[in-house]
A and B are shown apart, each in its own frame.
Chain A
Amino acid sequence: MITRLIALSVLLILPLPIVIVVLSSFTSAGYLSFPIHGVSLRWYGEFLGSADWLRVLGVSAVLALIGAFVSTAASFGAAWAVVRHRMRFGATYETILLTPLIFPHAAIGVIMIVTLSSLGWLGTFTGLVLVHCILTIPYAYRPIVAALRKSDPALEEAAASLGARPWRTFWTVSLPAARPGLVTSFLFSFIISFDEVTVTLFVVGPHVMTLPVQVFSEVLESASPVIAAVSATLVLFTTAIVFVLDRFIGLQFFVERD
């Protein structure tokens, strides 16, 4: 009974602040309030009419695409070596790949400042890509390694014994078998990167800014409802990704243990 009461309140409250932000973005007032005073799309107009906001949105989207692609590819290589080549110290290597998860974000932020400034990449797009790849690898690795462990190496052996060359076996047998894992990794990394703010705010610069970091600094300085409109757009991206994940892989994936 009490379990049910707690569970239902938690399940109700978890999406609540997000719903409130989306609703408050439709206010016609010049200040933020809830319930809203009057309905309008003026703050969406301000967001989409601003070259600065659109540029930042573009940076975030391209960054997340490149980061997700690199992370997924790097994780695929690592997972292939661990699972298919049965490399020595594979379990240790897996633990190393997960290390970014067991460090507090504020500390990772300073680590990234130290790293990027020694490479001369602080405040550059290249630097952001590097940081986001490191942050998303733990998320990208797990779905791929799970998919590879599930697929049967005997199929590849069969293809090879029927005379398929290694590359052909790879393209026609191995890759399709790993596809669900690759898609999950890519989408998962994309959304982690697209939403990341705590570490990113240390490494952005005057010339490159991401959408969540821009929202963060605007919230600190002003209370303009345009922030709600931008936030609602971030929510829209997440909704799209969750929808695709649900359709193609199923949300069950997130609560499975390998």
Chain B
Amino acid sequence: MPKPLRTALLLAPSAILMGVFLIGLVRLVSSSLMIDGQFDITHYVDILNRPDYVQMLGRTLRTAALTTLFSLLIGFPTAYYVARYKGNRNFLLLLIIFPWLVSIVVRSYGWMVILGPRGLINSFITWTGLVERPLRLMYNDFGVILGLVHVLCPFMIIAILSVLMQIPRSLEEASMSLGGRPAYSFRTVLLPLSLPGILTGITLVYLMATGAIVTPLLLGGLRNTMLGTEIFQEVMHFFNYPKAAALATVLLVTALVVVIPIQIFERWLARRLREGESH
């Protein structure tokens, strides 16, 4: 068998799967732009004309941005601690990877048990007598963002950790021994070198937060919808597929507008770091 034919046969299964996906993507966008076979942007005009939709878009962006920010703020120190840990690092990895691989529906449900009116926190504070009635810890933005950060921050930790493990400790020590203060050596050595991992983490967490359904629905309820939960309701309760397709396209655009520039920057950065190595 000639080699090009063998290559084609090897590629066929994965190419078919990706082809199905990419054709679906094109059909999604085109179905949102068609009404009765005619080009029509009515669905988009409707979305932008409804104040509740505009508000929901704002809530989605705000929630995703806050989730990404908090994941970074707690993810970086955690990754740093694990990367520099001298004892049994495998156990620490287990504490990150095991929860990461447990279904998000189970983890979100776990937060319902913790935050709910008869949950861990409320049982404790009503028992101590600090408050008389249980606090409302979920079905609000607090619950949603807490849940999303918990569900998504392993992506951030793993992305940053994989970069930090490659930065030799000696590099930091060198900068310190040359008289750099910790903050200075963080800014000039650690941060630039770990930037590729940070960018990967930001990309993944932002993407998953904008398109999340399960966590916002379980911890936020049906009232304060986000793009993902709104799409879910259009499909499951109203069977309005063209509207869902238009919302999904809006979701794609809001995600890619942020993600593609980050990806381009990351590639540029990777090239610069590689050039730096060869000097």
B-contacting residues of A (Cβ < 8 Å)? 2-4, 6-8, 10-11, 13-18, 20-21, 24, 31-35, 70, 73-75, 77-78, 80-81, 85, 87, 93, 96-97, 99-115, 118, 130, 133-134, 137, 141, 191, 194-198, 201-202, 212-213, 215-216, 219-220, 227-228, 231, 234-235, 238-239, 241-242, 246, 250-252, 254-257
24 CB contacts below 8 A, A to B, read: A3-B77, A10-B74, A11-B78, A15-B99, A17-B114, A33-B119, A85-B3, A99-B22, A103-B25, A105-B211, A106-B211, A108-B211, A110-B28, A130-B17, A137-B17, A198-B211, A228-B113, A231-B110, A235-B106, A241-B101, A242-B98, A242-B101, A246-B90, A254-B162
Judge whether B161 and A255 touch: CB under 8 Å. Answer: yes
Judge whether B94 and A20 touch: CB under 8 Å. Answer: no
Residue of A nearest to B3 (CB): A85
Give the chain A neighbours of B57 by CB distance below 8 A: none
Give the chain A neighbours of B13 by CB distance below 8 A: 70, 73-74, 77-78
A24→B106 CA distance, assembly (Å): 12
Residue of A nearest to B103 (CB): A195
Judge whether A21 and B101 touch: CB under 8 Å. Answer: no
Judge whether A32 and B118 touch: CB under 8 Å. Answer: yes
Judge whether B31 and A114 touch: CB under 8 Å. Answer: yes
Give the chain B neighbours of A14 by CB distance below 8 A: 95-96, 99, 150, 153-154
Judge whether A77 and B228 touch: CB under 8 Å. Answer: no
Q: Give the distance to chain B from A24, nearest Cβ to Cβ, in Å.
A: 5
Judge whether B232 and A106 touch: CB under 8 Å. Answer: yes
A112→B207 CA distance, assembly (Å): 18
Chain B 170-225 interface residues, beta-carbon cutoff 8 Å to A: 203-204, 207-208, 210-214, 217-218
Judge whether B102 and A238 touch: CB under 8 Å. Answer: yes
Give the chain B neighbours of A235 by CB distance below 8 A: 102, 106
Give the chain A neighbours of B145 by CB distance below 8 A: none
Give the chain B neighbours of A246 by CB distance below 8 A: 90, 94
Judge whether A20 and B255 touch: CB under 8 Å. Answer: no
Give the chain B neighbours of A115 by CB distance below 8 A: 20-21, 23-24, 27
Count of CB-CB pairs between chains A and B under 8 Å: 288
Q: Give the distance to chain A from B221, nearest Cβ to Cβ, in Å.
A: 10
Besides A74-B17, A107-B211, A109-B213, 6 more A-B contacts (Cβ < 8 Å) are A35-B120, A104-B207, A109-B248, A115-B21, A220-B217, A255-B93
Residue of A nearest to B248 (CB): A110
Judge whether B105 and A219 touch: CB under 8 Å. Answer: yes
Judge whether B14 and A74 touch: CB under 8 Å. Answer: yes
Give the chain A neighbours of B106 by CB distance below 8 A: 17-18, 21, 212, 215, 231, 234-235
Q: What sequence of 0s and 1s flags, for each residue 10-21 of chain B, a beta carbon within 8 Å of any chain A beta carbon?
A: 111111011011
Residue of A nearest to B241 (CB): A113
Which of B28, B93, B166, B256 lies in contact with A257, CB distance below 8 A?
B166
The 10 A-B pairs at the shortest CB distance, nearest first, are namely: A104-B211, A17-B110, A7-B81, A195-B103, A115-B24, A74-B13, A106-B228, A110-B248, A77-B10, A33-B118
A235→B100 CA distance, assembly (Å): 11
Q: Give the distance to chain B from A140, nearest Cβ to Cβ, in Å.
A: 9
A112-B77 contact, Cβ under 8 Å, with A77-B10, A107-B252, A235-B102: no
A7-B80 contact, Cβ under 8 Å, with A73-B13, A99-B18: yes
Q: Give the distance to chain B from A202, nearest Cβ to Cβ, in Å.
A: 6
Judge whether B113 and A24 touch: CB under 8 Å. Answer: yes
A102-B7 contact, Cβ under 8 Å, with A20-B110, A115-B27, A219-B112: no
Give the chain A neighbours of B99 by CB distance below 8 A: 14-15, 18
User: Is B137 positioned at the interface, with any CB of A under 8 Å from its CB?
Assistant: no
Give the chain A neighbours of B25 by CB distance below 8 A: 103, 111
Judge whether A114 and B27 touch: CB under 8 Å. Answer: yes
Which of A97, A106, A111 lies in contact with B227, CB distance below 8 A?
A106
Give the chain B neighbours of A104 by CB distance below 8 A: 207-208, 210-211, 228, 251-252, 255
Give the chain B neighbours of A102 by CB distance below 8 A: 203, 207, 255-256, 259, 263
Judge whether B20 and A130 touch: CB under 8 Å. Answer: yes
Judge whether B24 and A254 touch: CB under 8 Å. Answer: no
Judge whether A250 and B90 touch: CB under 8 Å. Answer: yes
